[in-house]
Amino acid sequence: MKIACVGAGPAGLYFAVLAKQHNIATEVTVYERNQEKSGYGWGVTFGPELLQELYRNDQESAREIDDAAFRWRDQFVDIRGERVTYDGGVDVYNLNRPRLVEILTARARKLGVTVRFDEEITSPGQLPGADLIVAADGVNSQLRQAGDFGTQIAHSQDRYIWLGTDKPFRAFAYHFLETEHGWIWASSYGVEAGLSTFVVHCAEPTWAGLGFDTMPIPDCLEVLSDMFKEQLEGHRLMGQVDDPANARWQHFRTVTNERWHDGNVVLAGDAAHTTHFSSGQGSTLALEDAIALAANLERHPGELGTALTAYDRQRQAEIVHGQRQARLSARWFAEISRYLDLEPRQFATLVHARRSALVPVLPPRVYYQLHKLRPAAKAIRRRLRPARPDTAAVTMAERR
């Protein structure tokens, strides 16, 4: 089988690695419209469960990703001059996206995959020799647009701009600022020793009121750098490392598809689905797509249609929970005015609880009080739980 992967992001490259490593295809080629080492993108985030999965599938690339990852555990919310900190409980792994692409590209080539940069594929007709075409070409997937997948795209009503900074943030943080036109906030986290992601987010009226709707991006970066000067401590904001002014304000687009395959074209990553950036699951889901697609092709050799149908059903079912959490997270920020009159500690608690289905339906202070009771409720449940019999003692009694 000959496979063509369109898009040299995490989904396309990691699938190419697995397809070659597991001998799923005799020939695997990855096509990417951007130039090699273009430096596009900022941080990707994943947890220890995904890292373990990467080790199970390809130890060599997993080891490099593990070694390159920037870790944080502490998190805090900064609002009205008060910082509320808490321990997330587990390490979170972050990697600059260009570094991840570099690792996966090198691994793919070592296994015999052909990776062709600066080559744009917009139609399956450009790949007549491919038995399977993996459309991993992102949220604006042209291969998806050329097929019949039952695609739906919903646009958020707020605005965000994905930036970076040369300040090394050692913990994940939310920074909330009040302006004369409403609230604006940023999330920040380190991705390597001297770089961090810095995503700025606000409601559309605030965005327009601050003049960002007509302001050139270099000027936007200057204004934002001044607004968040205390958090940045003199460090700069930039769109991309190699092109600081390369950034834009966006509406988030939620992409869903009724079908993930059409003929010999199959979707993966953001071409198949998107989850709101505030849930931090995008890269994890993309890599899990690649793992599931490779596993189903290996499970059904010579039965392409069966393998693609199994992959479609598996992944559509698996992402339901993550998509629900992402919708709740996005809704929380869209309705942020509900929570802004809370005290800082109360507000921070609801930031971290935003994926709960109870948060949008209960009055914020009621939810906070219920949340405070959770430790006591857990202790009561432990006390009321029937004691487990001592197996050894039971066995001895039976012998007597």
Q: What's the pLDDT tens digit per position in 65-113?
A: 999 999 988 899 999 999 999 887 788 999 999 999 999 999 999 999 9
Amino acid at 316: Q
Among the ranges given (94-98, 329-333, 351-355, 373-377), the one the predictor scored with the smallest mean pLDDT: 373-377
Segment 204-214 shows an average pLDDT of 97
- For the chain, how many residues are written? 400
Per-residue pLDDT tens over the stretch 121-142: 999 999 999 999 999 999 999 9
| 158-165 β-sheet, strand order | 43-46, 82-96, 70-79, 172-179, 182-192, 195-203, 158-165, 237-238
3-state secondary structure of 154: strand
Q: Which of 159, 356, 359, 182 is nearest to 253 (CA)?
A: 159
Say what the pLDDT of residue 386 is: 64
Of 60, 159, 69, the closest CA to residue 110 belongs to 60
158-238 classified as CATH 3.30.9.20: yes
**Which tokens hold the place of 170?**
């050692």
Sign of the torsion angle spanned by Cα atoms 274, 322, 93, 198: positive
pLDDT computed for residue 87 by the predictor = 80
| Range of weakest confidence among 26-40, 159-173, 179-193, 276-290 | 26-40
Domain extent listing, the chain: 2-68+95-151+254-318, 158-238, 326-384
DSSP string covering 113-146: -EEE-S----SGGG-TT-SEEEE---TT-HHHHH
CATH 1.20.1050.40 for domain 2-68+95-151+254-318, yes or no, is: no
Beta strands in the chain (DSSP E): 2-6, 27-31, 43-46, 70-79, 82-96, 114-116, 132-135, 151-155, 158-165, 172-179, 182-192, 195-203, 237-238, 253-257, 261-262, 265-267
**Whole-number pLDDT of residue 158:** 95
Looking at residue 397, its pLDDT comes to 35
Band of pLDDT at residue 377, cut at 50, 70 and 90: low
Mean of pLDDT values over 274-303: 95
Pick from 228-232, 323-327, 375-379: least confident: 375-379
Question: Strand order in 2-6's β-sheet?
Answer: 114-116, 27-31, 2-6, 132-135, 265-267, 261-262
d(CA 175, CA 154): 27
